[in-house]
């Protein structure tokens, strides 16, 4: 099973701003992000190339149709092991159901494995557990949060 013809997975670029925000809006409230803020954010990610791996799937016209990231956390436990965190997975509404989400997660998994993670974890809503099971994940407990917004 391959990506559709012409589609690629690549790091996010400053020029992706509008599409990146638009695709992410299927997941959550994105808010206003200026070009300068986006440039600074990408510069921050790029300054930590072994920690942040922001990726997009772009179509044949190089238009962003899916977003996602793996963040590699360097820990003390497990002999200074590393844990990967999958974040901000979103596939554009009219592109869902084409296996793009599956390809993106598979790609992020392989980054985590290559970086030496002993596990990769993520939070998701109950409606998405079936998708992540298809991507090789299993239900591993309870998600809790404390919010300040």
Considering the complex, state which of residue 28 and residue 34 has its C-beta at the smaller distance from ligand ACO.
28
> 71 vs 100, which CB is nearer to ligand ACO?
100
Say if CB 133 and CB 126 are below 8 A apart: no
Shortest distance in whole angstroms from residue 79 CB to ligand ACO: 27
Token pair of 56 as six digits: 């997009």
Q: Are 87 and 69 in contact (CB under 8 A)?
A: yes
* Backbone φ/ψ region at 136: left (φ over 0), alpha (ψ -120 to 50), beta: left
Q: Given the structure tokens 């559709």, which residue do they identify? A: 4
| Least distance in angstroms from the C-beta of 45 to ligand ACO | 17
Say if residues 92 and 119 touch (Cβ distance below 8 Å). no
Residues binding ligand ACO (CB under 6 A): 26-27, 86-91, 96-102, 122-124, 127-128, 130-131, 134
Nearer to ligand ACO, 17 or 90 (CB): 90
By beta-carbon proximity to ligand ACO, the closer residue of 27 and 60 is 27
Q: Shortest Cβ distance from residue 126 to ligand ACO (Å)?
A: 9
Quote the distance between the C-alpha of residue 34 and its chain's center. Answer: 21
> Smallest gap, in angstroms, from Cβ of residue 119 to ligand ACO?
14
Write out the two tokens for 131.
């998708």
């Amino acid at each position: 099973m391959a990506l559709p013809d012409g589609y690629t997975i690549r790091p996010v670029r400053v020029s992706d701003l509008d599409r990146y925000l638009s695709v992410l809006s299927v997941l959550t409230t994105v808010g206003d992000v200026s070009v300068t803020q986006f440039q600074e954010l990408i510069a921050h990610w790029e300054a930590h190339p072994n920690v942040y791996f922001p990726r997009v799937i772009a179509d044949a016209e190089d238009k962003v149709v899916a977003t996602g990231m793996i963040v590699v956390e360097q820990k003390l436990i497990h002999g200074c092991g590393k844990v990967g965190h999958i974040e901000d997975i979103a596939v554009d509404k009219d592109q869902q159901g084409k296996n793009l989400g599956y390809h993106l997660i598979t790609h992020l998994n392989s980054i985590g494995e290559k970086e030496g993670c002993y596990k990769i974890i993520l939070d998701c809503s109950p409606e998405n557990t079936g998708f992540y099971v298809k991507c090789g994940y299993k239900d591993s407990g309870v998600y809790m949060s404390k919010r300040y917004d």
